[in-house]
Each structure stands twice: as C-alpha cells, then as structure tokens.
Amino acid sequence: MTTTAAPDPEARPHPSRETHVTTGATVWLTGLPSAGKTTIAHELAGLLRAGGRRVEVLDGDEIREFLTADLGFSRADRHTNVQRIGFLAELLARNGVTALVPVIAPYADSREAVRGRHAAGGTAYVEVHVATPVEVCAERDVKGLYAKQAAGEISGLTGVDDPYEEPLAPDLRIESQEQSVAESAAAVHQLLVERGLA
C-alpha cells in the first residue's frame, strides 16, 4: 500500500502568492514650473526600467485631471494635492514600485508631512530639488505660464507671485541650467544606486 503525503501548502506557493524582494521608493522632484521636474522624471524612469525596476511617474498635470480635479492653486488646495499624491506614492513605493513625483509642492510643511508618512511606513523617500533659477524657468516657459502671468492673464504663479519655499536640506539639488537632461537624470540615478534603491 502506498501513502501519499499531503501537499505542503507552504512548499511551493501559488504564483499569486509569490513575493519578490524589491525595494520601492518615492522620489519627489520639487521645483518651479519649467524647472525640469517632468523631463528628469521620464529620463530617470528609463534608466530605472532598464535596470529592471517597476516605475510609475505621477505627473502633476495628469494627477490634477483625475485624482485632484476638484483642487485649485490656493495654499490649502496645493497642500491637499500634495498629500493625496504623497499617499498614492507611498502605497506604490511600499509595494516595490519606484514612484517618481514631478510635482511643485511649494510648501515645506506639505513636503515634510509626506516625508513623515513615508517614515512612519518604513518606506524610502528621496527629495530632489530641481533648483533651476526662476529667470531660466521663465525663459524656458514650457507651458507659457510665465508669459501669461507677465501679461496679467493669470496670477498666483509659483515663484513669481506665489510662494515657493526652497527645501533647506534636500537629498539632492539639481542645477539643471548647468547640465544636460541626461546628466541630471544620471545624478538622481546615482543617488538611488548609492542608497540601494536602483
């Protein structure tokens, strides 16, 4: 008589239960409009994906269309916008995704709240200040916002007639006016490598 051992459910997990050891992180790129946040995020995403990372870019404009369409650009609304995006980024990062967040986040207390949420969850958080001077940003004026502000068509533009509280101790500061997009993205990538996040 042969006996068949009962299958050990722990021996070979069902594929849906397999876990992969990946270290996610949130990389928040803060800076003025046209500083280079979005461009660096997408360049960096390419580098990270080439290294096998799962990456999501939480672009401010896209997020505002869906997740935060109810919000404007008052101090309170910008704070709420940043907290919602920070919440989403932490969820992704906690699950092994590298969340790249090119969002202005002009207020220090908003950014600190996001950092605190990540710290509380034990999730890696990296703050990159894309510190392009406002004169250079206004010259680039990717979306024509600086021209519109100058023409009196809009007001409350970050860095011009609305506050931008510069990060005092970012994990990295990028002077995008002094380097190429590839160099800027490589600098962030290098930091992530040093921290075991890429």
Ligand X SMILES: Nc1ncnc2c1ncn2[C@@H]1O[C@H](COP(=O)(O)OP(=O)(O)O)[C@@H](O)[C@H]1O
Phi then psi dihedrals of residue 173, to 5 deg:
-120, 130
115 binds ligand PPS (CB under 6 A): no
Please list every residue from 42 through 101 that binds ligand X, using CB under 6 A: none
114 binds ligand PPS (CB under 6 A): no
Whether residue 105 is annotated as binding a ligand: the answer is no
176 binds ligand X (CB under 6 A): yes
3-state SS of the chain: helix, strand, coil percent to 5? 45, 15, 40
CB of 138 vs ligand PPS, minimal distance in Å: 12
Residue 145: count of CB within 10 angstroms of its CB: 18
CB of 176 vs ligand PPS, minimal distance in Å: 13
What CA–CA distance (Å, rounded) separates 40 from 112? 22
What CA–CA distance (Å, rounded) separates 141 from 135? 10
131 binds ligand PPS (CB under 6 A): no
Residue 107: CA count within 13 A, CB half-sphere: 16
SS3 assignment, position 180 = coil
Spatial contact of 25 and 98, defined as CB atoms under 8 Å apart: yes
| Region of residue 27 (left: phi > 0; alpha: psi -120 to 50; beta: else) | beta
Q: Which does 123 bind (CB under 5 to 8 A by kind): ligand X, ligand PPS, none?
A: none
Identify the residue whose tokens are 């290294």.
Answer: 51
143 binds ligand PPS (CB under 6 A): yes
176 binds ligand PPS (CB under 6 A): no
Please list every residue from 6 through 65 that binds ligand PPS, using CB under 6 A: 33-34, 38, 60-61, 64
Name the site residues for ligand X (rule: CB under 6 A): 31, 33-40, 102, 140, 142, 176, 179-181, 184
Name the site residues for ligand PPS (rule: CB under 6 A): 33-34, 38, 60-61, 64, 73, 78, 81-82, 103-106, 143, 145, 156-158, 162
Residues flagged as binding site: 31-38
Residues flagged as binding site for ATP: 31-38
